[in-house]
Homo-oligomer: A and B are copies of this chain.
Amino acid sequence: MSESKTGIIALLTDFGTRDYFVGAMKGVILSINCEAQIVDITHEIEPQNIKSAAFTLKSCYRNFPEKTIFVAVVDPGVGSNRKAIIVETEKYYFVAPDNGLLSFIYDETKDFRVYELTNKKYFLPSVSRTFHGRDIFAPVAAHLSRGVKPNELGAEIKDYIKLSGNQPRRISANIIEGEIIHTDHFGNLITNLTAEDLPEKFVLRVGEREITKAVEYFAEAETGEIFVIAGSAGNLEIAAFKDSAAKILKARTGMNIRLEKL
């Protein structure tokens, strides 16, 4: 639609929103490029949950305009010898620690290059051992938004870390086992199954509970009723109308689920 520009820097972290962390990152970015347009995706990824960060970024990055620079910092290994990387695709840039957070990009994208961030010229002058969001990732993103090229930031690497996917397992012709990979703000339980996995007649087991109802939209159900729905990120979700499925089912991220065709 409108012409793409490189000034958009979208942030996703587990830093929370009540400390100086996010403010420091934004200050660093604006000190380097005061025209940068900073967008908060979220700063409330569950602390150090790399899979949840990956799910969240994967679910929205395609909505952003070309040349958007994503800065994703969920970084339990900060200060150790884990690498810092930038991934360049045909459309986007992703700046992150090399801990598997960007695995979905490697799966979904045909043409991409991964560079290790080593050129200290684009870091803050003093790099702490505990806050690379401020000292490395933010300044690198800001320099990128001013036209610095990925290959100026460091050398291309091939040994980046890729997490083995959380793929559902087919147990038998009629049974698939999956997992709850995210619990959202409404208490909806997002699974790693997709709408295509859902037979017309089914039983979905979550702990002790059996779910047999599927709906197309929330208001189709009764208040408090538990059902399965094709979520807006493409995944199958377990939800309750005007209520929290997570609370009702006492379920949470990481639990196994079992889908049986009847």
Max chain B CB contacts within 10 Å: which of A45, A64, A242? Answer: A64
Partner of A20, one of B17, B28, B42, B129: B42
Asked, given contacts A20-B41, A232-B134, whether A27 binds B64 with beta carbons under 8 Å apart, the answer is yes
User: Among residues 70 to 109 in chain A, which have CB atoms less than 8 Å away from a CB atom of chain B?
Assistant: 76-80, 82
Bound-complex Cα distance A30 to B3 (A):
10
B34 & A10 in contact (Cβ 8 Å cutoff)? no
Number of copies: 3
Max chain B CB contacts within 10 Å: which of A10, A56, A60, A242? Answer: A60
Bound-complex Cα distance A35 to B39 (A):
13
Bound-complex Cα distance A223 to B41 (A):
28
A10 & B35 in contact (Cβ 8 Å cutoff)? no
- Would you give the 0/1 interface string for A2-37, flagging 1 where the beta carbon is closer than 8 Å to chain B? 111101101010011111111111111011111101
Asked, given contacts A128-B232, A131-B232, A217-B79, whether A39 binds B18 with beta carbons under 8 Å apart, the answer is no
- Would you give the 0/1 interface string for A44-75, flagging 1 where the beta carbon is closer than 8 Å to chain B? 11011000000111011111110010000000
Partner of A39, one of B26, B41, B135, B220: B26
Across the interface, which residues of B come within 8 angstroms of A185, CB to CB? 15-19, 21, 47
Max chain B CB contacts within 10 Å: which of A4, A8, A42, A231? Answer: A42
Bound-complex Cα distance A38 to B65 (A):
15
User: Which chain A residues have a beta carbon within 8 Å of chain B's beta carbons?
Assistant: 1-5, 7-8, 10, 12, 15-28, 30-35, 37-45, 47-48, 55-57, 59-65, 68, 76-80, 82, 128-131, 134-135, 146, 182, 184-186, 216-220, 229-233, 241-242
Q: Please list 15 pairs of residues, one from A and one from B, whose beta carbons are closer than 8 Å in the complex, sorted by A's number.
A: A10-B23, A10-B27, A22-B41, A28-B63, A30-B64, A30-B65, A31-B63, A31-B65, A38-B39, A76-B242, A78-B217, A79-B216, A129-B230, A130-B231, A130-B232
Question: Given known contacts A2-B33, A130-B230, A130-B232, what 5 new A-B pairs fall within 8 Å (CB)?
Answer: A20-B59, A23-B56, A31-B63, A31-B64, A131-B232
